[in-house]
Amino acid sequence: MDKHFTIRSISFSTLLGSIIGLSLLGYAIISATDNYIMFINLSSFLLVIGGTLAATMIAYSGNSVTRTMISLVHIFINTRPSHTTIPAIVHRLLEFSITSKKQGALGVQKIITASEKNNSLLQFGVALLTAGYTGSDMRKMLNNSINHIFKEHTIRVHIFHTMATFCPSFGMIGTLVGLVIMFEKMGSDISGIGKGMALALLTTLYGVLLAQLLFKPASEKIRQKNESDRFYNQLILEGLCMIAEGADTLTIQDTLNSFIHQSQHVMINKK
């Protein structure tokens, strides 16, 4: 969403969930053994995460996987409506309507702020409005743009879901590798049995943890944000198209208010 409408902060629910999950795992380990180091095995971790990334790169394009992994950081960043919440969008669209009535579409172009220009859909919609397209034509083009944005972001959801599927599989592969090492050492070097068993068990542990505590939650988090952004974009589309159709500002107000909860309704004579 546009910076004019939203603020960014740490997602405390995501942070808290991660801390609780890791704390419970740590408590289970601490309460059962004094040898905590045995649960840290770099080769096991690299096998799981490396194999998962390799398989994902085969399944999807490299650029999509790279962008998706970068977006992993964003699950800890909460993008939410600003202090005026969703009505800020409605209020701004009503300002566009009033300006359009007085100064025409070019007037709307003039009052667009620098931060609002960062919203590609809003900027595109205002450009179409200024170009003189009808509301019907604008609706088609903006719908195409919304669907394209939604589809592009949905790919990230699929990639994280796929990685959550691959992780336990590579954990199982690590288990088989560890068992082979263990059985091979049984006839000659008994001291190698422990290392083989550790590799066998830890890869499965890492695979399940990464899938259930990272990739699956990330997939669901991005899916929810994607749905939320689509709703905001639909609100912008409706407002701009009604302005293009020459609808009365009060009609636009009531139409946009129908998208949101009654407690958040914006009245044209209120800020």
Helices (H), the chain: 12-32, 42-59, 62-71, 87-103, 105-111, 120-131, 135-186, 192-210, 216-244, 249-257
From CA 78, how far away is CA 10, in angstroms rounded? 6
Q: Distance from CA of residue 256 to its chain's centroid?
A: 25
Residue 225: the pLDDT is: 86
- Both tokens of residue 100? 């359009």
Listed by start position, the domains of the chain span 9-40, 41-264
Residue 203 near residue 39 (C-beta atoms within 8 A): no
CB 163 within 8 A of CB 52: yes
pLDDT at 146: 93
Look at residue 86 in the predicted model and tell me its pLDDT.
Answer: 78
Residues with Cβ within 8 Å of 87's Cβ and at least 6 positions away in sequence, in order, are 260, 264, 265, 266
pTM recorded for the entire structure: 0.76
Tokens 């450009």 correspond to: 127
Place of tokens 């068993």: 197
Return the residue matching tokens 């066998």: 200
User: What is the DSSP-derived secondary structure letter of residue 8?
Assistant: E
Structure tokens at 104: 């025409």
Asked whether 154 and 226 are in contact (CB, 8 A), the reply is yes
Number of Cα atoms under 13 Å in the Cβ half of residue 101: 12
Q: Nearest to residue 129, comparing CAs of 146, 110, 148?
A: 110
Which residue numbers in the chain have pLDDT < 50?
A: 1-4, 6-7, 81-84, 270-271
Full DSSP string of 57-126: HHHS-HHHHHHHHHHGGGGGEEEEE-TT-THHHHHHHHHHHHHHHHH-HHHHHHH--TTGGG-HHHHHHH
CA atoms within 13 A on the CB side of 197: 8
| Distance set, CA 102 to CA 95, 218, 248 (Å) | 11, 46, 12
Do the Cβ atoms of 212 and 65 come closer than 8 Å?
no
